[in-house]
Amino acid sequence: MSQPLDLRREQSIVVDEFYRDTWIEINLEAIKYNITQMKEKLPQDSNIIAVVKANAYGHGIVPVAKKAIESGANGLAVALLEEAIKLRRAAIDVPILVLGLVPPRYAPIAAENNITLPFFQREWLDEINQYDLKKPLHLHLKFDTGMGRIGLRTEEELEDVLQGLIGNPKVQLTGVFTHFATADETDLNFFYEQNERFNRLLMVFKEKWDLPVTIHIGNSAASIRFPKSVHNCIRFGISMYGLYPSATVKEEHQINLRPAFSLHSKLVHVKKLSKGESVSYGRTYIAEADEWIGTVPIGYGDGWSRKLQGMSVLVEGNRMPIVGRICMDQLMIRMDREYKIGTKVTLIGKQGNDNIEIDEIADYLETINYEIPCMLNERIPRVYVN
Ligand SMILES: *Cc1c(COP(=O)(O)O)cnc(C)c1O
């Protein structure tokens, strides 16, 4: 499994042409495993919406979406209408929900493609009425119960919106949802408060609306921690990719997960520097003795942040530090001995007995694991392994 070109020929599903020795491996079986683990915790009649926004958290939207559906997901969620359309063009026909607000003027495109939009403003709904829709537009009503991002907040707003909805032939309400701000934290007080606000709004809603709707409130954190109390559907994001939403949820370990994402490259150059010689721009690294230095063809132009100077990579299962400034397309590592050109370098994932987790990279960059696969851009090919 050392040759990306071999992988492309034998095991990959969707890979555009590439000629570089730096690649991301996506283990689709891990996606399936994580969905299966989640399903086992949920009540029998519960559904899973696989969240594949931002190119499936950097994993590749179409292959992940297809694998998720094959593994039992009943629908998909994205952030943007263009992401939803990309899925439809890939012949994916399950329900797709956009999570972010789409300007009303694009409602005809959403309706035509059977894409469900979120809504929560009366003005938005009224503007939809101006447009000629080929089919009824499917909508999910969003409550802001404390995230403070999008959604209606009060019973008055809810009643106003429902007035615009009742008897409106252009739209069809198929879902109601909210989003938690602190479901992954140790202190769950605000989580419970959001739950209460949601239940209050839901009660008012149910008094006025008796048609069946999907109710979904659980992101990964809420669904893993409270699988029996997240209504009849969850929005499964980060943990479908095998990552825990936070250190707290990881420590609680209420679910087994397998990361799907790993990042690899190869040594393109190996040399011995003498004591006092320098590496990379600005000469921030000076060899302290005679040292073996390897060059790896990945840099901040690929999204491998310059701030990762000092982080380690794996060569034959051993950690080697990144020395000197990370360049746009290349970086250098200090090695314990000479290695052959072409030796595999693992920047994220297992190699030998060691494993560099995405969480470790995130900690080093003082960010969250979500950001790491998202920041590695399309210049790095994704290779799919089943
Ligand atoms: C991104 C997102 C999710 C998924 O959250 P995870 O923590 O990745 O599971 C769910 N719902 C909404 C509204 C989102 O924006």
Question: Of 32, 39, 53, 66, which is the active-site residue?
Answer: 53
Q: Is 279 helix (H, G, I), strand (E, B) or coil?
A: strand
Domain harbouring 119, CATH code: 3.20.20.10
Which ligand 1 atom sits nearest the alpha carbon of residue 79? Answer: 15
- DSSP annotation of 28 reads H
Judge whether 8 lies within some domain: no
Whether residues 279 and 209 fall in one domain? no
> How much distance in Å is there from the Cα of 372 to the middle of ligand 1?
16
Whether residues 113 and 211 fall in one domain? yes
84 lines ligand 1 (CB under 6 A): no
219 lines ligand 1 (CB under 6 A): yes
Tens of pLDDT, residues 5-52: 444 444 444 456 789 999 999 999 999 999 999 999 999 999 999 999
Q: Is the pLDDT of residue 356 over 50?
A: yes
What predicted TM-score, i.e. pTM, was given to this entire model? 0.95
Interatomic CA distance for residues 75 and 50, integer angstroms: 6
Torsion sign over Cα 113, 114, 119, 123: positive
Cβ partners under 8 Å of residue 217, min gap 6: 177, 178, 179, 180, 195, 198, 230, 231
| Residue 353 domain boundaries | 261-385
Judge whether 319 lies within some domain: yes
Tens of pLDDT, residues 307-333: 999 999 999 999 999 999 999 999 999
Tens of pLDDT, residues 130-168: 999 999 999 999 999 999 999 999 999 999 999 999 989
Annotated active-site residue 39? The verdict is: no
237 lines ligand 1 (CB under 6 A): yes
User: CA 48 → CA 37, 199, 223, 384, distances in Å?
Assistant: 12, 21, 10, 23
Choice among 3-12, 49-58, 215-224, 251-260 with the minimum mean pLDDT: 3-12
- Which band of pLDDT confidence, cut at 50, 70 and 90, is reported for residue 95? very high
Number of compact structural domains in the chain: 2
Cβ partners under 8 Å of residue 199, min gap 6: none
Of 47, 235, 261, which is best to mutate to test ligand 1, by the most ligand atoms within 8 angstroms of its C-beta?
A: 235
> How much distance in Å is there from the Cα of 222 to the middle of ligand 1?
10
Whether residues 227 and 290 fall in one domain? no
